[in-house]
Amino acid sequence: MTAALIGLPLFGATVLLLGGRRTNAWGHYFAVAMSASSFFVGVATFMSMLGRSAEDRTIETHLFDWIAVGSFQVPFGLQIDQLSIAFVLLITGVGTLIHIYSIGYMAHDENRRKFFAYLNLFVAAMLLLVLANNYFLLYVGWEGVGLASYLLISFWQHKPSAAVAGKKAFVVNRVGDVGLSLAVMLMFVTFGTVTFSGVSAAAGNGDATSLKLIGFALLLAACGKSAQFPLQSWLLDAMEGPTPVSALIHAATMVTAGVYLIVRAHAIFDLSETARTAVVVIGAITLLLGAFIGTAKDDIKKGLAGSTMSQIGYMILAAGLGPVGYVFAIFHLLTHGMFKAGLFLGAGSVMHGVNDDVNMRHYGALRGAMKITYVTFGLGFLAIIGIPPFAGFWSKDEIIKVAFEQNTLVGLCTLVGAGVTAFYMTRMMTMTFFGEARWEKDVHPHESPSTMTIPMIILAVGSAFGGLLLLFVGDIEAWLEPVTGFATSTEAGGMAWLMPTTLLVIAAGVAYAWNTYGRRPVPVVAPAEVSLLTRAARNDAYGDAINEAIFMRPGLHLTRALVWFDTKGIDGFIGGFAALIGGLSARGRKLQNGYARSYALTMLGGAALIAFVLYLVRL
């Protein structure tokens, strides 16, 4: 049954890829069908799990022995438990919605078939990632997702910037994957096994240093995939891909894989304090960095990408807080999946309306022309900044509460983050839908077709009531507790003052954004002389520049030097050696000067040499 989850989209992808021209006509419907059927299978499994008692909810299926060399045994097994079913539902659910959305979005793209094939491939890879029962198979899913994101980012291959972005994303992910492979190696060396059950069982008697090292390696992997602080530069360039891609991959599913990895390896993180603090620090930094970048971005998708980066910073931070934070990290992940996908799809329909122009300064007063997009985008907006009844509030508020309990400084960061999030989301909302119209000449915005708006509506509903549903009806804490372990915070309700202060901070952010962008007219061309901070934000806090300076430029210089060394150095040396022999030979030839007398002279010299050697021997 669980194998079918992965099998269906994989089958869809292979059929479409190998099918070629013949599948163009019905290709996309077939892909949607595959994704939907995988969703229904997921729901069915979920229902059956609900039926069973808490302990025996995990279903373990072993397909075959993948690698068996000496003591390194890696089974090709799938494991579905409470944590992974949550992810499955998110992936297949949001995935199917985005498949439907892309029918409309990609309607007039000539290799649409290939797009849907890659989408199905992505869903299959992501499912493999979350369903694997050992870290090695997870690594395979991990890289599969990276490949799919590469293919989809650089989907419009004729655009050079897309190709560069795709390559950059893949290479930076590869750097993260180094961490994951090191972690798997460390696990094998210390515990002798790589399966989740094996590792968590043996984690108890692991020594502190190797646990710490495994923790750091896993964190590096998470940073790579979830675009956390050191390796975050690729996420903003990834917006080159079509918007459904950004929605599915760079908002809902792929970027959260890092969080899933840390939560799945909670056995390791529970035991090493330093690893957890590192995760929290990284989470906090990225949270602030993402928000800070979001404030100055004029491109709507890049703004949303900055906000994704900071929301994931929240989740990583929560996961880093240990058993108390895992549940809320996953809870925020699910709600974020819904409202961020909604926002992206909204941005997509906005772009669709204004002939694919991404610059928010050319929007303004779109609420009249695109009613549905306005409403759904508005609901998503309210959810993300954390207004009480909506999904964002419940999950983010819990994280802020837990953060304050653990460490006030971290709590403060989350609070400031919430404020800045409110600021840039309101800025985006006002620049796009309110103020006066700053449209280009031939632009006359219209509402997107129904295939695009229906998924937006569903997601808007999700972002509105999702939080309530999960927290109270589904009781997510109880649901995840057996898998991730859940310790209720020490003093219940002690922080009464916390709820009002967060709402106050959010209100301040909204107000400030409203009066800078709401009331005053927004200049169509971005003002040049701006404060140092804004300029830094515009070029992603110079993240790319730093990478360029530290790695790329010296790397290329080193390569050029090595190429020179290779041709001149080694070849030079060998050539020199050959030239030496040639020179010796040419000079030696001259000795043979044709005179019989000089030959006789050499013979006489030779006789003297022989006599001398024999004389020496006699001594």
Chain centre distance of CA 490: 33
Which of 488, 602 has the CB closer to another protein?
602
Query: Residue 331: CB partners within 8 Å, gap ≥ 6?
Result: 394, 395, 398, 470, 471, 476
Whole-angstrom distance, CA of residue 511 vs CA of residue 532: 23
- Interface map 521-560 toward another protein (x if CB under 8 A): ----------------------------------xx-xxx
Residue 228 Cβ, how far from another protein at the closest point, in Å?
A: 17
- Rounded to whole angstroms, what are the CA distances from 110 to 29, 106, 231, 242, 351? 15, 9, 34, 14, 19
Q: Which is nearer to another protein, 34 or 128 (CB)?
A: 128
Tell me which of 493, 500, 527, 588 binds another protein, using CB under 8 A: 588
Phi-psi category of residue 80: left, alpha or beta, with phi > 0 → left and psi -120 to 50 → alpha: beta
Span 204-223, contacts to another protein by CB under 8 A = 205-207, 210
Per CB under 8 A, 504 contacts another protein: no
For position 190 contacting another protein by CB under 8 A, the verdict is yes
Q: Rounded to whole angstroms, how far apart are CA atoms 422 and 495?
A: 22
Name the region of 20 (left: φ>0; alpha: ψ -120 to 50; beta: rest). Answer: left
Query: Could you write out the DSSP letters of every residue in 351-419?
Result: HHHTTT--BGGG----TTT-HHHHHHHHHHHHHHHT-TTSHHHHHHHHHHHHHHHH-HHHHHHHHHHHH
User: Distance between CA 585 and CA 579 in Å, rounded?
Assistant: 10
CB of 102 to another protein, least distance (A): 20
Based on CB atoms, which residue is closest to another protein, 62 or 535?
A: 62
- Of residues 69 through 88, those in contact with another protein by CB under 8 A are 69-73, 75, 77
Smallest distance from another protein to CB 608, Å: 4
* 228 SS3 class: coil
Residue with Cβ nearer another protein (175 or 507): 175
Nearer to another protein, 1 or 574 (CB): 574
Interface segment toward another protein; rule CB under 8 A; list 193-201, 257-265, 374-382, 433-441: 193-201
- CA distance linking residue 299 with residue 306, whole number of Å: 11
Q: Is 594 in the site for another protein (CB under 8 A)?
A: yes
Considering the complex, state which of residue 441 and residue 587 has its C-beta at the smaller distance from another protein.
Answer: 587
Tell me how crowded residue 207 is: count the other CB atoms within 10 A of its CB: 9
Q: How far is the CB of 5 from another protein (least distance, A)?
A: 17
With contacts defined by CB under 8 A, name the span among 81-89, 281-289, 538-546, 597-605 that binds another protein.
597-605
Stretch near another protein under the rule CB under 8 A, chosen from 139-147, 234-242, 269-277, 351-359 = 139-147
**What single-letter amino acid sits at 120?**
N
Report, in Å, the least distance between residue 61 CB and another protein. Answer: 10
For residues 101 and 119, what is the distance between their CA atoms, to the nearest angstrom? 12
Given the complex with another protein, which of 43 and 202 has the nearer CB atom? 202
Interaction residues for another protein, span 96-115 (CB under 8 A): 111
Query: Looking at beta carbons only, is 64 or 497 nearer to another protein?
Result: 64
Could you give the CA distance from residue 240 to residue 225 in angstroms, rounded to a whole number? 17
Binds another protein (CB under 8 A): choice among 174, 371, 444, 446: 174
466 and 396 Cβ atoms separated by less than 8 Å: no
Residue 21 in the binding site for another protein (CB under 8 A): no
Task: Report, in angstroms and rounded to the nearest whole number, the Rg of the chain calculated over CA atoms.
Answer: 31
Nearest to 128 by CA among 38, 192, 218: 38
Using DSSP, state whether 289 is helix, strand or coil: helix
Among the candidate windows 39-47, 146-154, 460-468, 533-541, which touches another protein by CB under 8 A? 146-154
Smallest gap from Cβ 231 to another protein, in A, equals 11
Q: Residue 349 class from Cβ within 10 Å (0-12 exposed, 13-18 middle, 19+ buried)?
A: buried
Q: Is 59 near another protein (CB under 8 A)?
A: no
The verdict on 579 binding another protein (CB under 8 A) reads no
Kindly identify the residues of this chain, within the stretch 557-576, that bind another protein according to CB under 8 A.
558-560, 562-563, 566, 570-571, 574
Region binding another protein by CB under 8 A among candidate stretches 314-322, 339-347, 481-489, 586-594 = 586-594
* Under rule CB under 8 A, residue 68 binds another protein: yes
- DSSP assignment of 79-145: EE-HHHHHHHHHHHHHHHHHHHHHHHHTTT-TTHHHHHHHHHHHHHHHHHHHHBSBHHHHHHHHHHH
Nearer to another protein, 210 or 534 (CB): 210
Contacting residue, 33, 89, 202, 416, with another protein by CB under 8 A: 202
Least separation in angstroms between residue 252's CB and another protein is 23
Nearer to another protein, 497 or 595 (CB): 595
Rounded Cα distance between 247 and 387, Å, is: 22
Pair 224, 232: CB distance under 8 Å: no
Residue 160 within binding range of another protein, rule CB under 8 A: yes
Of 220 and 403, which has the nearer Cβ to another protein? 220
Applying CB under 8 A, among 65, 274, 501, 504 the residue interacting with another protein is 65
Smaller CB distance to another protein: residue 80 or 345? 80
Decide whether 437 or 584 has the Cβ nearer to another protein: 584
- Of the candidates 337, 303, 344, 535, the residue with the CA atom closest to the CA atom of residue 426: 303
List 22, 158, 441, 520, residue binding another protein (CB under 8 A): 158
Indicate whether 162 belongs to the interface with another protein (CB under 8 A): yes
Q: How far apart are CA 147 and CA 395, in angstroms?
A: 31
